[in-house]
Amino acid sequence: MSILISGSVAIDIILEFGGRFADHILPEQIDKLSVSFLAPQMRSDYGGCAGNIAYALKQLGGTPLPLASVGRDGGHYLDRLRQLGISTAHVAVLQDCYTAQCTIVTDQQQNQITAFHPGAMSQAHLNPVPTDTPITLAMVSPNGKEAMQQHARQLHAAGIPFVFDPGQGLPLFNGEELQQLVDLATWVTVNDYEAHLLCERLGYDRAALSRQLRGLAVTLGEHGCEVWVDGACREVPPVAAAAVVDPTGCGDAWRGALLYGLEQGWDLVRCAKLGNYLGALKIAHRGPQNYQPDPQVVAGY
């Protein structure tokens, strides 16, 4: 049985600027900003929420089924997924656009300037949930707005339990739209900032939100996470990272562990403990899909 992951598949372009943005931006000229940064260090990573979560789940021994869209330039990404043993049967290839691309310039103070081109992600709603495929569990992660809404409705109608992970897509929705998605979901997972924004737009707190679901998980970065079930909060301590190299994709690694645990029938606290381990492992590696968990450590959870 597969775990469906609705979300983005993207290419991350990371550029490193050796100076400080602040030294090149004049506040009095901000209304006609035109700057250029020399970035001698560059790397290209496979990314996107669906791709990253699928990678994490596969590393743990799960069977991910990404539901996503790529453009005419996405062939090498599909080849990589297949080499990892991840099905691409439901990754649509759209010839009239590019794969989603995220370009990030980071200065020496870890400030970032980011430009995101959604590309094929904007048409992900044209790729429906394959309800004729054996699916035990699913996640609706950041994607095109219409895709997130349609896939949530399709999963609910098919009786497939799913995690709603609004992530960076959260600002796209108003309170009424978010409530509709919460009503369809089985679980919700967000980071601390997203939890504040989500509750603000819904008009109630985390305890009240958790009472509408089987559970709410709030990741807190280096401080671990919170697990809310039926209005009660349980704090799950962090796992110390061997090194802090690159935070990109840590949240997706955590979500892959969440899906793995839920499929095993674990409670949310146990899932969160594994998620904290996988997030700590990922942050010690550069890129969102370049880490391998220790099977013996995983078995200990």
Phi, psi angles (nearest 5°) of residue 37: -120, 125
Q: Bridge partners of 226?
A: 218, 235
**Are the C-beta atoms of 259 and 141 separated by less than 8 Å?**
no
Cβ proximity of 16 and 41 under 8 Å: yes
Rounded to whole angstroms, the Cα distance separating 52 from 11 reads: 11
Q: ∠ CA 204-207-209 to the nearest 5 degrees?
A: 55
Q: How many Cα atoms are found within 13 Å in the side-chain-facing hemisphere of 232? A: 4
Alpha-carbon distance of 255 to 249, in angstroms, equals 10
Burial of 240: CB neighbours in 10 Å, binned 0-12, 13-18, 19+: exposed
Q: Under DSSP, is residue 130 helix (H, G, I), strand (E, B) or coil? A: coil
Catalytic residue among 165, 252, 267, 294: 252
Q: Is 230 a catalytic residue?
A: no
Q: Token pair for residue 195?
A: 């939890």
Q: What is the dihedral of CA 287, 189, 219, 217, to 10 degrees?
A: -140
Q: How far apart are CA 113 and CA 122, in angstroms?
A: 22
Q: Contact 1/63 with Cβ under 8 angstroms?
A: yes
Closest CA to 100 of 138, 67, 73, 75: 73
Determine contact, residues 266/229, Cβ cutoff 8 Å.
Answer: no
What positions carry a catalytic annotation? Answer: 252
